[in-house]
A and B are shown apart, each in its own frame.
Chain A
Amino acid sequence: AQSVTQLDSQVPVFEEAPVELRCNYSSSVSVYLFWYVQYPNQGLQLLLKYLSGSTLVKGINGFEAEFNKSQTSFHLRKPSVHISDTAEYFCAVSEVGRGSTLGRLYFGRGTQLTVWP
């Protein structure tokens, strides 16, 4: 079974400051890793994903994440945040090669990022 832990439920930062949102996972098989962003009363938008290859993944809106297999982590970072980055961020994992259930995502509880002016 998969589990995803987002260690921080809320992260407040000032505009133009760097931010890191933490995500750890546990799995008995190989996984794909994702970060999604959710604005109020909206669905989820994919920020970035790790499938294979380079462990540093760059996504939209200036976000990046690094996959660390030994620490089973996939932390999300942005060097300088904007007020418009205020949203809920979800880390998710999907098992590699699970046939008909491929695409089934296991989500963390989310981290509310609030950027203050």
Chain B
Amino acid sequence: GAVVSQHPSWVICKSGTSVKIECRSLDFQATTMFWYRQFPKQSLMLMATSNEGSKATYEQGVEKDKFLINHASLTLSTLTVTSAHPEDSSFYICSARSGTGGMSGELFFGEGSRLTVL
């Protein structure tokens, strides 16, 4: 199947710093990418939907100024957590949908990035 790669897989940072997480579709072009956040022992919460070349659509309650999403190309989307605080510590997962795939809603998920803010 298609491969979606996230980097870094683990990141530890100090409170107040910004962290960038990359999501790449390695063997297909992703017109749409989704960013999820997963708290321990809980489900995935959709944060935002990004379409290549346009602004991301954020879910209600997600601070767009804190979680900056950029989808500059068909193979790369980035999530930047600005001025991170300990409560931002979480597992962040991206997913991508092929632009040429069927309208099935099937997504390919990255391996996830665990952010720990000290």
Contacts and interface: CB of A to CB of B under 8 A. Distances in A.
Most buried by A among B4, B46, B49, B109: B109
B110 A43 contact: yes
Contact of B112 (A42, A95, A110): A42
A12 interface: no
Interface residues of A, number: 28
A43 B111 contact: yes
A110 B43 contact: yes
A105 interface: yes
Interface string A97-117: 100111111111110100000
Contacts, number: 70
Given A101-B49, A104-B49, A107-B43, A45 B103 contact: no
Interface in A66-105: 90, 94-97, 100-105
Contacts of A96: 105
A35 to B, nearest CB: 12
Contact of B34 (A41, A104, A108): A104
A72 B92 CA distance: 30
B43 A43 contact: no
9 contacts: A34-B106, A41-B112, A44-B93, A51-B104, A100-B32, A102-B103, A105-B95, A108-B43, A109-B42
Contacts of B110: 43
A38 to B, nearest CB: 9
A68 B103 CA distance: 22
A43 B103 contact: no
Contacts of B105: 32, 34, 94-96, 102-105
Contacts of A103: 32, 34, 95, 97, 105-107
A56 interface: no
Interface in B1-49: 1, 4, 6, 9, 32, 34, 41-44, 46, 49
Contacts of A49: 104, 106
A50 to B, nearest CB: 10
A41 B49 contact: no
A100 B51 contact: yes
A103 B96 CA distance: 9
